[in-house]
């Protein structure tokens, strides 16, 4: 199993960090978790793309995590040579989001159908709204969902991917909570949103400090990992984006509370998961 950070950024546009997205490369195929800004550009750099996805999983419906859903949906369609519905899993509300996305794309769909004689079908997706439990199984790969806490954003979910003896948890945006603990128990790797509380409080802008009550700080992530016996942590969706030369500060903050490996995400970071 491989973990590939397609996008390590946040809602704020950054020339070096695409929007939130993680690709898990498994025996069952490529599994994409969230699809933020620029995700298919990053996927192309690791020889993946919409047509290669076995499934797309959404943690929640905040705009920065779904910005490029329309691109994944469209490119899945126009790069296929036979109908290939996109399997999508997500929290309640995801079906309505997909319906609205398709409606938004109606002019484009019409243009392409009118122009390409060999494209005789519409784009489509198979939609499964999830809350808790095993939601995907193929070969030795199993994906389990559990509710997280990103209130007032509701519902939100995290995911655990198990392949044989290896396991990775995708937390999404959340504060520490029982559902996340459930997913993390004994996991090899936790990929988790992280914000720097100290820097955000120093900036002091209300719209920025507001995010502290529904995101995990670096310390929160470290304590979640330590409490649940996780072996390694990947800090991603970094707010604010680390200034050059300050990366070690993030790692040091986590290591003050967690004895395992700590990695600071960058776009296209690729990690092998070992049991």
The residues annotated as belonging to the active site are 64
As a whole number of angstroms, the distance between CA 148 and CA 156 comes to 5
Residue 8, preceding peptide bond in cis (omega within 30° of 0)? no
Region label for 259, one of left (φ > 0), alpha (ψ between -120 and 50) or beta (otherwise): alpha
Quote the DSSP letter at residue 173.
Answer: S
Tell me the C-alpha to C-alpha distance, in Å, between residue 143 and each of 48, 58, 60, 130, 239: 20, 13, 16, 11, 28
Residue 210 CB coordination number (10 Å): 11
Hey, which residues does 137 pair with through a beta bridge? 142
Q: Answer for the pair 37, 269: CB distance below 8 angstroms, yes or no.
A: no
Q: Answer for the pair 26, 48: CB distance below 8 angstroms, yes or no.
A: no
Residue showing tokens 């919409």: 50
Pinpoint the alpha helices (H) of the chain: 39-44, 63-66, 69-78, 94-104, 106-115, 178-184, 197-203, 206-209, 218-227, 247-255
């Amino acid at each position: 199993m491989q973990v590939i950070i397609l996008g390590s950024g946040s809602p704020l546009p950054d020339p070096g960090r695409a929007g939130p997205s993680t690709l898990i490369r498994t025996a069952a195929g490529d599994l994409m978790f969230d699809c933020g800004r620029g995700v298919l550009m990053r996927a192309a750099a690791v020889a993946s793309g919409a047509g290669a996805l076995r499934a797309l999983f959404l943690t929640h419906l905040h705009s920065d995590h779904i910005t490029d859903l329309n691109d994944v949906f469209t490119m899945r369609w126009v790069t296929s040579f036979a109908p290939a519905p996109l399997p999508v899993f997500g929290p309640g509300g995801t079906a309505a989001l997909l319906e609205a996305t398709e409606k938004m794309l109606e002019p484009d769909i019409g243009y392409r159908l009118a122009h390409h004689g060999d494209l005789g079908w519409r784009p489509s997706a198979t939609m499964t709204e999830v809350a808790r439990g095993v939601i995907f199984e193929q070969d030795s790969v199993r994906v389990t969902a559990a509710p997280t806490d990103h209130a007032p954003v509701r519902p939100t979910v995290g995911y655990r991917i198990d392949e044989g003896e290896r396991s990775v948890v995708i937390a999404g945006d959340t504060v520490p909570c029982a559902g996340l603990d459930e997913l993390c128990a004994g996991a090899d790797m936790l990929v988790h949103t992280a914000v720097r509380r100290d820097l955000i409080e120093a900036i002091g802008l209300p719209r920025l400090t507001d995010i502290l009550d529904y995101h995990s700080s670096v310390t929160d992530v470290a304590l979640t990992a330590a409490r649940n016996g996780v072996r390694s942590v990947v800090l991603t969706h970094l707010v604010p984006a680390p200034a050059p030369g300050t990366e070690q500060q993030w790692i040091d903050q986590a290591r003050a509370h967690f004895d395992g490996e700590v990695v600071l995400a960058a776009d296209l970071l690729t990690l092998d998961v070992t049991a």
